[in-house]
Amino acid sequence: MSEPTTFEIVIRGRASARLLRPLLDDFTFDHSDGNTRLVGVVRDSAHLHGVVSHLTSVNVELISIVSVDRPAVGLSLPGHIHTLHERSTQP
């Protein structure tokens, strides 16, 4: 990866804000389906490696890591964790 790329990372379960704190500047978070979905721009392969290293160091189970064309519609600024209520009431 030679240029910034948007990635979607899905981890099993609802990750706490404390666990996600190191990633708040780079990713948006969503817990709507029982898992935690992170979407954000990864600057380069070293950045992606750092994110994966953090997640595995705290023993989360990675479900998928996928590059995407653009972030999903309805996600807010990085660091905001949506609740089910917020997701259902956004325009």
User: Which of 48-57, 62-71, 75-84 is the least confident region?
Assistant: 75-84
pLDDT beyond 80 at 70: no
Domain positions in the chain: 5-89
Q: Which fold has domain 5-89?
A: Alpha-Beta Plaits (3.30.70)
Q: Tokens 């790329």 map to which residue?
A: 5
CB atoms within 10 A of CB 77: 7
**pLDDT-derived band at 20, boundaries 50, 70, 90:** confident
CB atoms within 10 A of CB 75: 18
Mean pLDDT score across all residues of the chain: 79
So what's the pLDDT on residue 75?
44
CB atoms within 10 A of CB 62: 12
pLDDT beyond 60 at 39: yes
Span 49-61, average pLDDT = 93
